[in-house]
């Protein structure tokens, strides 16, 4: 694991996030700029979980990716987090990293006295990008939902490549809609399914 401490390096990954995601979109409408290929939803409570970490490592193995970058997008990673705690809420993990390393990263709490700095408690919004663009993850706590997209154009739209590794936490589109329909500003089932192209 390499915690990102350099502004230039952080901005490099931030640029990649902006190339992949419409961050101004109203989630759970589709936030991906590329057409979703193989998507699966998960409860946002798993955004900093061992289950998600293990599944992403397995996806790295499947797609021969060396690793991925985890970034907290909100609260503001520069104006709030870096200025308050002295490092970015972002790190690159290799597919060989142990889940204990991920746990230490998201539970690291060395902020000023009386301020909890642990990402697991601070995070409201995340993005995870694989090194070579094989998959992307987005999650937002307020919407109680996260989504993984495997960006392999040769795959039809389905959840199998993801659920194979994340079976305990992954939801299909229908289940995800049932989970969020009562917690959101109105979005019809048809709008939701069309947005994610899983109709």
Closest CA to 57 of 138, 134, 152: 134
Rounded distance between C-alpha atoms, residue 182 and residue 165, angstroms: 29
Higher per-residue confidence, 164 vs 10: 10
Give whole-number Cα distances, 149 to 23, 142, 145, in Å: 16, 20, 14
Work out the mean pLDDT of the chain and round it to a whole number. Answer: 84
CB-based contact 94:36 (threshold 8 Å): no
pLDDT of residue 157: 46
pLDDT of residue 13: 94
Assess whether pLDDT exceeds 50 at residue 156. Answer: no
The whole domain housing 90 covers: 2-195
pLDDT of residue 36: 75
What number of CA atoms fall less than 13 Å from residue 147's CA on the CB side? 24
pLDDT of residue 154: 46
CB-based contact 62:165 (threshold 8 Å): yes
Segment 37-67, tens digit of pLDDT: 778 899 988 999 999 999 999 889 888 899 9
Segment 187-198, tens digit of pLDDT: 888 888 888 887
Assess whether pLDDT exceeds 80 at residue 161. Answer: no
Tally of domains in the chain:
1
Assess whether pLDDT exceeds 80 at residue 100. Answer: yes
Rounded distance between C-alpha atoms, residue 8 and residue 6, angstroms: 6
Give whole-number Cα distances, 194 to 10, 32, 43, 188, 190, in Å: 33, 13, 20, 10, 6
Rounded distance between C-alpha atoms, residue 145 and residue 136, angstroms: 14
Lowest mean pLDDT among 40-49, 91-100, 137-146, 174-183: 174-183
């Amino acid at each position: 694991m390499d915690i990102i401490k350099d502004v230039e390096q952080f901005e490099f990954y931030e640029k990649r996030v902006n190339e992949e995601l419409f961050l101004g979109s109203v989630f759970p409408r589709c936030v991906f700029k590329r057409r979703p290929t193989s998507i699966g939803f998960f409860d946002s409570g798993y955004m900093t979980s061992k289950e998600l970490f293990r599944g992403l490592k397995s996806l790295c193995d499947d797609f021969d990716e060396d690793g991925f970058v985890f970034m907290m997008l909100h609260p503001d990673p520069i104006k709030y987090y870096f200025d308050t705690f002295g490092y970015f809420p972002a790190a690159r993990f290799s597919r060989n990293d142990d889940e204990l390393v991920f746990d230490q990263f998201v539970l690291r709490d060395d902020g000023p006295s009386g301020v909890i700095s642990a990402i697991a408690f601070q995070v409201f919004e995340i993005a995870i990008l694989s090194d070579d663009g094989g998959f992307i993850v987005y999650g937002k706590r307020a919407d109680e939902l996260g989504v993984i997209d495997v960006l392999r154009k040769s795959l039809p739209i389905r959840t199998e490549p993801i659920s194979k590794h994340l079976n305990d936490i992954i939801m299909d589109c229908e289940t995800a809609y049932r989970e969020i329909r009562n917690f959101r500003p109105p979005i019809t089932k048809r709008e939701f399914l069309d947005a994610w192209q899983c109709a």
